[in-house]
Amino acid sequence: METNAGKKQDKYKEVDFFDRSAEVDEYNVFTDEASHKLIESFSSLSGLSEGSSVVDLGCGSGVFTGLLRQKGYDSVGLDISAKQVEIARVKYPAIRFLEGDVESLPFSSESMDGVLLSGVVHHLPDPSRCAAEVFRILKPGGHFVAFDPNRRNPFMWLYRDRSSPFYSKAGVTENERPILAEEVRHVFSAAGLRCHTDYLSGLAYRYVSSSVARLALPAYNLIDGTLFCLSFLKPYGSFVLTYGEKQ
């Protein structure tokens, strides 16, 4: 994060990847139980009440946006992929979905009670512009929650970090890399947000692109749901939750 300050995301590759994903799948890699667990974490960490306005950034085909609405939030989704947004609009016609860029959000300043960053930050070599936009659109006292793969988790590092000898580029864009909690916390704090860190494991995957990794998926889901839920191993859990508020 800090070492990539000023480095820009290749947005063309992001759009191309997720548009192509939309042609064959809705790009929902988690099981239903895992998706509900993530939304419960958002609700708990944000403390937002029913009726609060929440934008789901990186909404993809709208799974989390829909669950936020089920939870009672006035949710809206935004994604950089027009084709993913098309799928979301068909699946959830009562919810507003927008095509847009997290580094230049189409929302008025201080217009949102909450922001969910759905696996967005690890797609950004330098997330400072995104953090500034989150700060801008949040109302004073508004809350944000971001979830991203943890570079300190041995499985995430082995499979998804470019420095690993077992790195696989199947099913990811060239921009992606697991994050370090303290680096993301530093970026969002620098944007003016009060930030905290938590960790979340036990999010079972229903699908991964690599056929080799797919064979190991049941074992991964089992280990992730047991071993890294132990309190002393929590900082090595599969996902980092960065959360906080605009004071």
Listed by start position, the domains of the chain span 2-245
- Residue 208, amino acid: V
Q: For residue 188, what are its two tokens?
A: 């969002």
The H or E element containing residue 128 is helix 128-137
Q: For residue 18, what are its two tokens?
A: 């997720």
96-99 β-sheet, strand order? 96-99, 74-79, 53-57, 112-118, 138-149, 239-245, 194-200
**Burial (0-12, 13-18, 19+ Cβ within 10 Å), 91:** middle
Q: What is the pLDDT of residue 85?
A: 96
Q: Which residues contact 126 (CB under 8 A, 6 or more apart)?
A: 1, 4, 5, 6, 7, 8
Integer Cα distance of 92 and 71 in angstroms: 15
Integer Cα distance of 221 and 51 in angstroms: 34
Q: What is the pLDDT of residue 231?
A: 92
Q: Which of 66, 63, 71, 69 is nearest to 43 (CA)?
A: 71
Integer Cα distance of 72 and 83 in angstroms: 26
pLDDT tens over the chain, length 247 residues: 444 777 788 898 899 989 888 876 666 889 999 999 999 999 999 999 999 999 999 999 999 999 999 999 999 999 999 999 999 999 999 999 999 999 999 999 999 999 999 999 999 999 999 999 999 999 999 999 999 999 999 999 999 999 999 898 888 888 899 999 999 999 999 999 999 999 999 999 988 888 878 888 999 999 999 999 899 999 999 999 999 999 9
Q: For residue 213, what are its two tokens?
A: 């990794």
- Residue 209, amino acid: S
Integer Cα distance of 74 and 65 in angstroms: 9
DSSP secondary structure code for residue 41 in this structure: H
What are the φ and ψ backbone dihedral angles of 159, each rounded to 5 degrees? -90, -30
Model pTM score: 0.93
Q: What is the pLDDT of residue 5?
A: 72
Under 8 Å between Cβ of 191 and 128? yes
Under 8 Å between Cβ of 30 and 204? yes
Q: Please state which of the four CATH numbers 3.30.70.100, 3.30.1330.90, 3.30.1180.20, 3.40.50.150 is assigned to the domain occupying 2-245.
A: 3.40.50.150
**Rounded to 5 degrees, what angle do the CA atoms 107, 23, 204 make?**
80
Q: What is the pLDDT of residue 208?
A: 84
